[in-house]
Chains A and B, each alone.
Chain A
């Protein structure tokens, strides 16, 4: 069974500072990995995805993530935080061998951006 662990349920950063959100996964097969963002009372929006091509993946809103197989990690970063980055972020893993192409999500990390 697959699983995703996001270290830190809350992260506080200053505007302009680096944003680093940690995600570690467990999968018995090469995974497909995703990062989503959720603003209050909204659905989830895809930030980026890793599908076994380049290990450094660039997404929307200036975010990027690096897949490190040796560390089973897929950490999300943004060089300079903006107030609009305040939201909850979810890492997810997909096992395409399983029926239904389901995603397993981490517990989420809520980001607070201080002015």
Chain B
């Protein structure tokens, strides 16, 4: 069966520090991969998605970037964090057609 791993679970970082969140998927090949952010009291905002290795699409301009160095690995990064980057970050994978998205357990990021 397929599983998705996301780490760390929680992270507290000072403003201006770098960020790297990692997500890996097991049990499937060539998945679509996604990064969503959930800010306090708000819904889910799609940040990035990827349909293949090295293929990244950005949904909103921001302080973050994403990379997909391997088929089942998706990384969210920032060179310098802002206070507004605080939130709950969710990685997800999906198949083709009408398959739903499957989410990791999320990373709660607090920028201080």
B97 and A43 contacting across the interface, CB-CB below 8 Å: no
Q: Would you give the shortest CB distance from A57 to chain B, in whole angstroms?
A: 12
Q: State which of B6, B44, B90, B98 has its C-beta within 8 Å of the C-beta of A32.
A: B98
What chain A residues lie within 8 Å of B92 (beta carbons)? 43-44
User: Would you call B72 an interface residue if the criterion is a C-beta within 8 Å of the partner chain's C-beta atoms?
Assistant: no
A-B contacts at CB below 8 angstroms, number: 62
What chain A residues lie within 8 Å of B104 (beta carbons)? 43
Q: With contacts A41-B106, A99-B57, A100-B57 known, is A107 near B42, CB below 8 A? A: yes
B51 and A100 contacting across the interface, CB-CB below 8 Å: yes
- Secondary structure at the B interface, as helix, strand, loop or mixed, is strand
B106 and A42 contacting across the interface, CB-CB below 8 Å: yes
Size category of the binding interface on chain A: 20 to 34
1/0 per residue, CB under 8 A from A, across B88-100: the answer is: 1010101111111
Size category of the binding interface on chain B: 20 to 34
Q: Would you give the shortest CB distance from B54 to chain A, in whole angstroms?
A: 15
Q: Would you give the shortest CB distance from B103 to chain A, in whole angstroms?
A: 4
Q: State which of A41, A42, A99, A105 has its C-beta within 8 Å of the C-beta of B51.
A: A99
B57 and A34 contacting across the interface, CB-CB below 8 Å: no
The CA-CA distance from A23 to B41 in the complex, in Å, is 18
What chain A residues lie within 8 Å of B68 (beta carbons)? none
Residue of A nearest to B94 (CB): A101
Q: With contacts A41-B106, A41-B108 known, is A102 near B46, CB below 8 A? A: yes
Q: With contacts A41-B108, A44-B103 known, is A107 near B98, CB below 8 A? A: no
User: Would you call A27 an interface residue if the criterion is a C-beta within 8 Å of the partner chain's C-beta atoms?
Assistant: no
Which residues 54-69 in A have Cβ within 8 Å of B in the complex?
A: none
A42 and B105 contacting across the interface, CB-CB below 8 Å: yes
A-B contact pairs, 9 of them (CB 8 A): A32-B98, A41-B106, A43-B105, A44-B103, A45-B103, A102-B59, A105-B43, A105-B44, A107-B43
Interface residues of A (CB under 8 A from B): 32, 34, 36, 41-46, 49, 51, 90, 94, 96, 99-108
